[in-house]
Structure 1
């Protein structure tokens, strides 16, 4: 048989790993090798059984040696599946030391990754040949998920589907140890300190759908771009901006002005005037523009798509592409929901509900946070208290069911010319992972500035002591 047709495997490397673990299971090298592998990483069924039992012994804080391993396998009546005492003794005898165990574990893992890739590609081919009622587009979407699985498996060794509790426990323990050691294994920050404090130590949990609802001119896009900048620069993770309302060049200007904290009019100088008609130091601010733009480009973390009326499948496909390209995605940001092209449905709420459910699934699939902006109904403006609620979302009754966070934006200045035009309330109405509440901030020249929460709350209560608040 031609070598090309052989299933990827290396039985000698598998034997060396198992033999090394029996010799020095407690060594740092052996622990590293064990963390790199899963039972299915081994091609031989006998080796899968042996390694699985070794992991259970380690979890039970029992030693791994020829005697304890044999007794444990016999107690479960699987010793014959593992080759019996004679085979275990041969593994231990033929492995002089565990010095190269990490190298052998890497070989075993890479062969397993190749087998997994072949398995997925065969499934993709079978799907294209099948006549199961799926459309070609649906088949391609399913195949895209398979490619995402391959990428994830290559980077983390994890795969989808049912996982034994011991694997879930290992992943959870790794995350817990990382948090205790001060490593960055929490959720993502928003870039607004007081909002992050309200969200709590978990921050924005990965795999979540974060919905921002407001009437026009409240600052939805300002919050959207602020979160994208923070993800790209502070979290140092890719932020994918789908701008359905604003062209990409306008988004770029908004991002630069926000990051530099300058007036966006700097991009539109009046060359007939000595001061360019700019309320400030135009040259100084333009120098900031150049510095900020260079810094943003150097992160290579911001992506902008201004496709008009994109479908859910377009956003999903592009997000998966960046995940394959970069290995991870921090945030997917969509501005805004009702400008997307929805599939045909009996009612608008059902059509847009399918989109919110799809975006929630995308957040889980890519282990990222999806930020979704949504326009609210005019009816809220008929109320005495115009602070938004999740039920105010237009044509999107399912949002409350699908989202993990729902935040409304309210500016008193939008309804009262005498009020502070910069004053803004971020109303965290829904939070499946922690507390809800209100955060006070200010918007000036398209930039969000945090406030002293206690002082701002007292100021507003003094200004309107009889006004009934939602929080």
Structure 2
């Protein structure tokens, strides 16, 4: 293949495949100078700009950005023979070809400079400059190329324009819980979101509710279910979509006509959602990343990845637990960045929560297992608390608190939902907040029990 054919094959893979992890790797390692023809170079510059700014590579948008008269040429490039699976291979060959041309030009320039030098001092200067350029060209940087800030500033202005027109949030992940979305502004495409709680607080149910909201508008979801079998996850999803308790579904003979209507409605809703489930145990973090990145390449509209849960990911052997958890949390964050897809990672809270006085069991950040590493890597940390677990007869027993303990891009806060039939459902925030406040005040006013007296009569 000629250099131009190789370069066209690279552009074809980028235009057809979109902003996949492989595409982002190519963009991070292939310089603009590697394209020998001006039009191919300008096309790559625009591809790079859109991928880094918006996480998409779209032929029509690129054509418009280049003036609107290049669509036919871009379509022709996208038809260049080549396979998406070998995109990085074509890029490597194109880079090697560019380096060979650069090396030949450098050697020729050095030889010409030495021949035309008038004295030894000039010859020494030419040699020194040539050696410096040679070292720069052969230095091993792992192929990673820095991006100048100026290349991104114009893209950032486009982001500001879209914010003014109300389009900026179109790529963020919305949970469907309006009060939570108002605080977060939606989850960003590269966010690691940790959902933590004690057993029985509804971590999986809450994550499924987020997935329901995310897939409502056509986005896809990938669920790694290491705690529950796939059919259990399906049962929970049907129960949530139909607003039925799981216990009802497990006793179908007792279902009434209204219940069956809810089930049929739920099946119709879920059948139209693009949700994929990985039912496997003892997965390593490398396996999870490989599956997620492959799935993203096949289905670029993937909008969210859910991992249930961090504690069940197989830890590297002969490694301290805190280091293993740190490696896992960092890898989950890297996976979100590479796939440009938010990752929901479920995590258990420490048992110490239940050892505290009943009035002080609302979770805090330090209750996270190996909290330092997870807290460092996570962009958002959501902790779940249900007073009904500890005070089943209290005025706040029916409410669930969604505690946003860390929000890298905004304020923290608390959002309330009613926990009904095992599901999170909307509730009046003021009513729930007032009931919770009154219950807390009542608990604080209760007199402390005095220890039995040891005085003898």
Q: What's the TM-score, normalizing by structure 2? A: 0.68
Instruction: Kindly provide the CA deviation profile for residues 291-334 of structure 1, in whole angstroms up to 9, marking residues without a partner as x.
Output: 322232223x1011120121111211111121111113211111
2:416 alignment partner, SS class: strand
Identify, as 1 or 2, the structure richer in helix.
2
Tell me the equivalent position of 1:289: 263
Q: 1:175: which partner in 2?
A: 159
Kindly report which structure 2 residues correspond to 1:182-261, keeping only aligned pairs within 5 A, or say none: 182-183=166-167, 184-199=169-184, 202-234=185-217, 236-261=218-243
Would you say 1:413 and 2:388 are equivalent positions?
Answer: yes
How far is 1:195 from its partner?
A: 1.3
For 2:317 and 2:364, locate their aligned partners in 1 and report how far apart those are by CA, in whole Å: 27
For the Cα contact (< 8 Å) 2:4–2:36, is it kept in 1?
A: no
Distance 2:429 2:45 in 1: 55
Offset from partner CA, 1:16-60 (integer Å, 9 cap, x none):
xxxxxxxxxxxxxxxxxxxxxx99398436667899999xxxxxx
Within-5 A mapping of 1:107-122: 107=76, 120-121=89-90
Q: Report SS of the residue matched to 1:455.
A: helix
- Does residue 357 of the first structure (1) align with residue 330 of the second (2)? yes
Aligned residues: 351
Change in Cα spacing, 1:266 to 1:413, as seen in structure 2 (3 Å) is closer
From the superposition, tell whether residues 270 and 10 of structure 1 become closer, same or farther in structure 2 (CA, over 3 Å): closer
Q: 1:308 to 1:352 in 2, by over 3 A?
A: same
Structure 1 residue 196, shift from structure 2 partner: 1.3
SS in 2 for 1:295: helix
Instruction: Find the aligned partners of 2:210 and 2:228 in 1 and give their Cα distance.
Output: 17
- Structure 1 residues 223 and 440: alpha-carbon distance in aligned structure 2, compared to 1, 3 A threshold: same
Gaps of at least 5 residues in structure 2 are 8-29, 47-66, 96-142, 445-457
The answer to whether the 8 A contact 2:365-2:371 is kept is no
For the 8 Å contact 2:193–2:381, the answer to whether it is kept is: yes
1:330 partner SS: strand
Partners of 2:210 and 2:42 in 1: CA distance = 48
Going from structure 1 to structure 2, the CA distance change for 1:112 and 1:346 (only over 3 Å counts) comes to same
The equivalent residue for 2:288 is 315
What does 1:398-409 align with in structure 2 at a 5 Å threshold?
Answer: 398-409=373-384
CA contact (8 A) 1:425 1:441 kept: yes
Q: CA deviation at 1:250?
A: 0.9
Cα pair 1:233 1:296 within 8 Å, conserved: no
CA-based RMSD: 3.5
Give the 3-state SS of the residue equivalent to 2:302 in structure 1: coil
